[in-house]
Structure 1
């Protein structure tokens, strides 16, 4: 949060009443804090200041300082102290990456023999370095203690908010953390530290030792004891890195190093989680629900993807977007229902869920641009018509004709595959008429499969076109729909076209009714909003009579002409999938 410079917009001395209120807020947030420690943290007479800031991500925050040294900071009405928190230890060399903006991954957390403190997801925690219980970072737990252990200590453990050596630390007097010995000597931790250093090929040593200065070398980095104060050697290089990071768009170099340690699958999972929470927090509104899952992925999550990266569900551990949403549903973040057969929609979102509230918009995105992106006009521009392919299933009656090619009842084929199988069958059985190659001789199998009983005694030859068309008519109709960025969906029957009708209402008023928009990945609410803006007429969403979990868009007046232009030209849907365009009102001459 403070890995890059923040902007101060105001700094004022705290009033007596505000000091009392602040002390009450801290006591309420941290009930285990003793009155003596509370007075020590917020003294009665020392000068306290309230500093209003904007972080480099554009977040508004408040910092409370004592003699210019930050003691508390507040983001989104949540107080974050630099002490008073359950502590987790990490290796000293990790400090450089944390100061550079990286989050703390679980492989970098030292597991003490006494066990971890019991925390829940979102709990504020302190990060200490091995051998010194003085906090060097404040972070929010990305998962509970139970989840950390169940995950085998893999993945992101803590979202770092503030660290020693960051810009908030530089705002103060730049004092160093004190050297505080562990409350209980843990020989297992020392043994683990030595083993870790041996595996990495480094010399074992205890940082923060008051007897003999020790060094841990990682490239040009070394941790050294100077006047009982641990400092990072090569801080100029760290500042240079920060300057380079400010000039670049995207994640910091330290974050990239941390991400590089993960597998590509883990990185894609993390990217999907980031775009998911970003979309819910900044783009989806309660009025948008129910929202098609395809629309959510295409119009919301894709636009939240950082520049230079691309969401690909096949490269994640979920493999299918529906499974990713099931995982979010298990965490009670949202609820997904199949309102139309084969078409799922997000029907409910828990906006107060800790994961949504704790999510911070990545750098490069602003709330204003996110709100602008969520407008219906933008959704309209990035809509991509689904790819629809007619398919055919082998029925029981047609099995004799297809079994030689290795297909059985229920096999799914495209029209080109059916054509090739029929041609190969005719040539293999030498059924082409010698006198006229445009005709095919009908054998017993073709007779049983393709001819009606009244035709079996009369027809001995069929033209090629007639043969193929009869074959397709007797196969079970299916169709495959592929929405952009999603797995193909195969459904029975032919796809229903978008149905446009007009009806008469009271007072001789006409209305236009549109059905089956969901089958083509179109959000009925989004279409209604766009139509309302274009024709300046009221729209409503109503259930389809006689159909369960289906909705239709109703708009005042005969708007078939505007609908045709939008569906054919803007959404680029094929005309064969739209029914009722002939009902457009005829344009008469103006008198």
Structure 2
């Protein structure tokens, strides 16, 4: 809804009566009975400013004095929707609003504007206490995180789930954290006062987020202790192992060695080489590492470049270039990969041969394909699987090439086998089979020249339908004599190509139509009267 930047046309500070109306509309939109004693927290004393978006949009925003968006009205008709910022600071409103709980990896796509799909939603969200209702306002949560990160309208209900199953689009998002609505106050983004587990890339459960934070704190504390110990002069000497040494040994076992980190980086690099295309070159080295190497690391691992023997990505890429896997150029300290080689020299198997007749040595260089390297299940594979599960059974424009099937429907002249094929769409092979069956059944093959077919009336009409006008069984000569007797006029028969026309002299257009209706039972809607130059329609 607010994925793109918008312009505002003006703002107005609301008074007490208008503020009360905004609160009532907010409770009504959330399905909460209006109560004067509702325990408001932020809205109890906040100064609300009404901001209108520039035309042709009718959206209205309600912010506080610091430009933090509290609520918004999409159509400007009183359907006030709370923002994620307001839900964070209003626990009572958050507890009354129904929830839509999704898996943590799904939030990666929702933060980029995608709508929640039912395969990525926990089935506990649809319960007997809070069943799905079309148009119902719900807040979106990540399983294991108590704070919402989006809000939207439901698109399914119990009947829809019963008919189509647990697939398809579940909700239309109206507002998600980090969108343009959240960026209305730039100071709030600078302060980064976000709930626990909220990152720019994904919303994490509290347990995972706390573990990640704890590990970062431990690393920082360990680094600080090492610096203090280096600066501290040695005072005493300990002989034999102590409790601290035992703890250090246990921690060292959990930390990867430098050789393991080198192997992890190389495996991720070769996995990325399988994904990248030669046409993607030239590509910046930083982009290649961030968008391909990191996502291609094994699931549950982290690449620590400083812990490897290379220390820098630039050094690692230079080593790969010396092996012949890629070509790297450097300009002003910026590396660019100019060539990706799917097959490259395999240095562990350089073979030396010495001929008996010649003292010269011959070197045989073996080339190895990228796919022959040890592959693994990477973070990119997990993201692709989750996206495929979320979009299962749904047409995504531009993802796959359309499969076009050319079908034919029999016309009135080619309906050879009765009424069962009138409305059927047939393949070209089916039409050919029907035609061959009709020819064989009616014996239309030429007896002396089997490569030719004798046309009967049906095949003749099908091949040469022409543009025939209905004649209604009229005899031109008989109609000519009747016209001369009835209107005492001059009438002649004119051959017009393959057709026959009866020309009657006089302003008798309506009289002829009326006569055809009474004498030959031809409805007037089947007759057309045109007035030529100098002829006027008679007045009634």
TM-score by length of 1: 0.38
Q: Choose between structure 1 and 2 for higher RCO, CA contacts under 8 A separated by at least 6 residues.
A: 1
TM-score when normalising by structure 2: 0.41
